Chains A and B, each alone.
Chain A
Amino acid sequence: MNRTWAMGGTPGRWLLAVGFFGVASLVLIIPLIVGVLWSLVNPDVGWFPPAIVPSSLSLANWRAMLSVPEIGQAFVMSFLIAPIVTLLCAALALPTGYALGRRQLRARRTIELLVLAPIILPGIVLATGLGSMFIRLGLSHTVTGVVLVQTVVLLPFMIRIVAATFEGVPQDLIDAARNLGASPWPLARDVLIPLVRPGLFAGGLFTFIGSLEEFVLTFIVGMPYVQTLPVLLWAYLGGRSSIFTYAAVVTMVLLVPTIVLMFVAERTLKQEYLAAGFGKV
Chain B
Amino acid sequence: MARLELRDITKRFGRAVAVDRVSVEVTDGEFLTLLGPSGCGKTTTLRIIAGLVDPDEGEVLLDGKPVQHFPAHRRQTAMVFQSYALFPHMTVSENIGFGLRMRALSADLIQQRVGEALALVELEGLSDRFPRQLSGGQQQRVAVARAIVTRPKVLLFDEPLSNLDAKLRERLRLELRALQQRLGVTTVYVTHDQAEALALSDRVAVMFTGRIVEIGTPRQVYRTPRVRVTAEFLGVTNFLDGKVAAVADGHYIVQTPLGIVEADAALGVRVGEVVTLSFRPEDVRIGRYEGTAITGRVLHASYLGSVTDYVVESGGITLRVHEAGGSARGAGEEITITLPATAAIVRGE
Contacts and interface: CB of A to CB of B under 8 A. Distances in A.
A181 B99 contact: yes
A278 interface: yes
A155 B81 CA distance: 36
Interface stretch (B14-22, B71-79, B234-242, B320-328): B71-79
27 contacts: A172-B81, A172-B83, A173-B87, A173-B88, A175-B50, A175-B81, A176-B79, A177-B87, A177-B98, A178-B71, A179-B52, A179-B77, A180-B78, A180-B102, A181-B74, A183-B71, A191-B87, A194-B89, A275-B89, A276-B88, A276-B89, A279-B132, A280-B131, A280-B136, A281-B84, A281-B85, A281-B131
Nearest to A187: B73
A166 to B, nearest CB: 15
Given A181-B150, A276-B88, 11 more contacts: A170-B83, A172-B85, A177-B87, A178-B73, A179-B77, A190-B98, A190-B101, A195-B89, A275-B130, A279-B130, A281-B131
A177 B103 CA distance: 12
A46 interface: no
Interface string B51-95: 110000000000000000001111101110111111111000000
A224 interface: no
A123 interface: no
B3 interface: no
Contact of B85 (A176, A187, A275): A176
Contacts of B82: 172
Interface of A: 170, 172-173, 175-183, 186-187, 190-191, 194-195, 275-281
B63 to A, nearest CB: 19
B211 interface: no
B146 interface: yes
B186 interface: no
Contacts of B71: 178, 183
Main SS at interface, chain A: helix
Given A279-B88, A280-B136, A181 B130 contact: no
B73 A280 contact: no
B231 to A, nearest CB: 34
Interface residues of B, number: 33
Interface centre among B74, B86, B87 (most CB of A within 10 A): B87
Given A195-B88, A279-B130, A279-B132, A178 B83 contact: no
Contacts, number: 87
Contact of A180 (B99, B132, B136): B99
B10 interface: no
B230 interface: no
B201 interface: no
Contacts of B139: 280
B146 to A, nearest CB: 7
A177 B81 CA distance: 11
Given A172-B81, A175-B81, A279-B130, A181 B87 contact: no
A172 B130 CA distance: 18
B88 A179 contact: no
A40 B41 CA distance: 74
Interface in B160-219: none
Contacts of A276: 88-89
Given A178-B72, A179-B50, A281 B86 contact: yes
B99 A280 contact: no
A176 B81 contact: yes
Nearest to B103: A181
A133 B84 CA distance: 53
A178 B72 CA distance: 6
Contacts of B150: 180-181
Of the candidates A170, A172, A176, the one having the most CB atoms from chain B within 10 angstroms of its own CB is A176
A177 B98 CA distance: 8
Contacts of B78: 179-180
Contacts of B103: 181
